[in-house]
Amino acid sequence: MERLWWHDAVIYHVYPRSFLDTDGDGVGDLPGVRRRLPYLARLGVDALWLSPFFASPMADFGYDVSDHTAVDPLFGSLADFDELLDAAHGNGLRVLIDYVPNHTSDRHRWFRDARADPAGPRRDWYVWRDPSPGGGPPNNWITLFGDSAWTREEAGGQYYLHSFLPSMPDLNWRNPAVQEAMFDVARFWLDRGVDGFRVDCAPLIAKDPLLRDNPPAATGTSAHHRDLGGFDSQLHLHDQGHPDLHPRYRDLRALLDSYGEPGERIALGEVHEYDWPAWSRYFGRDLDELNLPINFGLLGTDWHPEAIRTTVRAILDAVPAGAVVTWVMGSHDDPRVASRVGPAQAANAMLLLLTLPGTAILYNGDELGMPDAAVPPERIRDPWGLRTPALSRDHARSPMPWSPDSPSCGFTFTGVEPWLPLTTPPGGTVRDQEADPSSLLSLTRDLLALRRASAALHGAGLAFLDSPPGVLAYTRSPGPGSPPGAGGDLLVTLNLTDQAVPLDHLLPPRPSGGPWRRVFTTARTRDAAHTGQGALAPAEGAVWSAGDGGGPHRT
């Protein structure tokens, strides 16, 4: 199959509110993203994905869209976006933006029309129902926050559906006018030159048309990688993932493929589905739906070799032939990688992410080893966290620390307080880590260079090896038809313990004889790397080459 740009890309996820503030209001903006594009180009990623920057009341920080084709003044202007897009392309970076199809803000003109005129043409653009026969909501569906998914309008007495906040009413995708209106939104941004979309909450656009109640979940069970409180009290069989969504995503894919060569413009899909065969259906039977349904399996997997092997195997087994899997280790909705696995293992987490077959999404700040920020109760901004502080997503959204010479670590150029508290990783700010060849940032750059240079890391072949307790080991193989001199197999070894592991029984015999050659190590000092001549150092990850190629060294 023809290799397209996204088949083994590394996509850098930018949360604009927390990237760089250039206008002194304490909130990051689009000019700030543009100013840091050279940083992303030096890092070596292939694309950036921007979380929402659209006009919004900011009840959920931009996911409550009030105008899909306008930039919120908090982030700049449409001209600022165009300049960012041109500059990104000039730096060799593709640009993906969020696409929020499930709902709008209640201040969107569509919902204002629907609310004002029950007999009007836009009423059916949203999901309205009469009360249940006994009074009350039409069914038992609940929001992600654990509240009823229905809000009653005093005027007329009907309820409208919302999967999130009451100020975020769900669109009715069974109305063809809604699909066409949302596809017009996609055309607006495609015409400006974006390279694709990250589809927010992809399973939600199609619910059970009969609005059947969700059954209760068994006590102590959850399909999600983290406990979502009241939301996990139900099995969400009827309020998402109805088969009617597949024709909609085939239509979206056809729209994307109509811009330039098929496959050039893409759709990432946020698919929080942990039944992997069900997750894989979002590719489409003929790989004609979402190009890259994101899997979130590694976000909740125990940091133990057997658990990681089991998760990765299950996901790879579910991927249809010819499809490309997408991996994430960090997200703006989840605890930071360095806090989940511990700072000593953050480099191994990066090595795992960037040596698995397929596409990788790197969340801004994870290349620095940023931990979760300490956010006191009075500073919580996340609407979820305001209801349930333990579920607050603010901890993972702390502003980027760019330099050590200001109270805001270079995030804002004035004395204003950033919108969330700052945290500085153990290795320091971006400027600190750029000057330190042993930093996680420097390691990530070297690893991305190795990924680009190695045919094995572009291939689909992965085989896990038997390994000592606490060590994850696997080989990566070049795909068929790799050019001569591109290098042979690579072996990846991750020591997930705090003890040195002898190499005697870890490195398998090479088919061609001779020793394995270390081409990359996460060891922070030459002394630690030297230990690796006979052992993997504590928490060391290494890449070994079976051929004369293999790209740059980090030893």
* Cα separation values, 407 from 20, 401, 404, 427, Å: 14, 10, 8, 17
Mean pLDDT of the chain: 92
Query: 390 and 268: one domain?
Result: yes
Note whether 185 and 87 are same-domain residues: yes
Number of domains in the chain: 3
Please confirm, yes or no, whether 21 is among the known catalytic residues: no
- Provide CB contacts within 8 A for 513, sequence distance 6+: none
266-316 pLDDT tens trace: 999 999 999 999 999 999 999 999 999 999 999 999 999 999 999 999 999
**Which of 161, 184, 200 is a domain's end point?**
161
Query: Are 78 and 156 within one domain?
Result: no
Q: How far out from the chain centre does Cα 104 lie?
A: 21
Higher-pLDDT residue of 555 and 249 is 249
What CATH number did the domain enclosing 369 receive? 3.20.20.80
- From CA 508, how far away is CA 157, in angstroms rounded? 70
Q: Are 206 and 173 in contact (CB under 8 A)?
A: yes
**Domain end position, chosen among 442, 468, 501:** 442
Using one digit for the tens of pLDDT, what is the confidence trace for 249-271? Answer: 999 999 999 999 999 999 999 99
**Tell me, what's the pLDDT at 551?**
42
Judge whether 272 lies within some domain: yes
| Domain of residue 319, residue span | 10-100+176-442
Q: How far is CA 520 from CA 45, 186, 219, 361, 435, in A?
A: 18, 42, 46, 21, 19
Provide mean pLDDT across the span 130-138.
Answer: 94
- DSSP H helices, 160-219, are 176-192
Residue 170 forms part of a structural domain: no
Residues 115 and 88 occupy one common structural domain: no
Q: Look at residue 347 in the predicted model and tell me its pLDDT.
A: 97
Asked which of 98-107, 225-234, 256-265, 543-552 is least confident by mean pLDDT, the reply is: 543-552
**What's the rounded Cα separation, in Å, for the pair 158 and 340?**
44
Buried b (16+ CB within 10 A) or exposed e, 471-505: bbbbbbbbbeebeeebbbbbbbbbbbbeebbebee
Q: Same domain for 90 and 132?
A: no
Q: Contact 162/143 with Cβ under 8 angstroms?
A: yes
**272 and 358 belong to one structural domain:** yes
- Return d(Cα 195, Cα 495) in angstroms, integer: 38
Which class for 460: exposed (0-12), middle (13-18), buried (19 or more C-beta within 10 A)? buried
81-125 pLDDT, tens digit each: 999 999 999 999 999 999 999 999 999 999 999 999 999 999 999
Catalytic residue among 8, 200, 273, 540: 200
CA–CA dist 275, 532 (Å, integer):
39
Q: How do strand 541-545 and strand 490-495 relate by DSSP bridges?
A: antiparallel
**46 included as an active-site residue:** no
Say which CATH number the domain at 464 has.
2.60.40.1180
Residue 171: inside a domain, yes or no?
no
DSSP three-state, residue 229: helix
Beta strands in 432-546 (DSSP E): 461-464, 471-477, 490-495, 501-502, 517-521, 535-536, 541-545
With vertex at residue 56, the alpha carbon angle to CA 50 and CA 57, rounded to the nearest 5 degrees, is 135
Task: Indicate if 238 and 96 belong to the same structural domain.
Answer: yes
pLDDT reported for residue 455: 93
398, 381: one domain: yes
Tell me whether strands 501-502 and 490-495 are parallel, antiparallel or unpaired: unpaired
Task: Identify whether residues 206 and 269 lie together within a single domain.
Answer: yes
Same domain, 95 and 113: no
Give the confidence band of 526 by pLDDT, cuts at 50, 70, 90: very low
d(CA 440, CA 433): 7
DSSP letters spanning 278-342: HHHGGG-TTS-S-SEEEP-GGGSS-SSHHHHHHHHHHHHHHSPTT---EEES--TTS--HHHHH-
Asked if residue 484 has pLDDT above 50, the reply is: no
Average pLDDT over residues 198-220: 94
Alpha-carbon torsion, ordered 129, 131, 133, 139, to 10 deg: 70
- Outline where 55-102 has alpha helix (H): 78-90
Active-site residue, selected from the candidate residues 170, 270, 372, 446? 270
Q: How confident is the model at residue 487 (pLDDT cuts 50, 70, 90)?
A: low
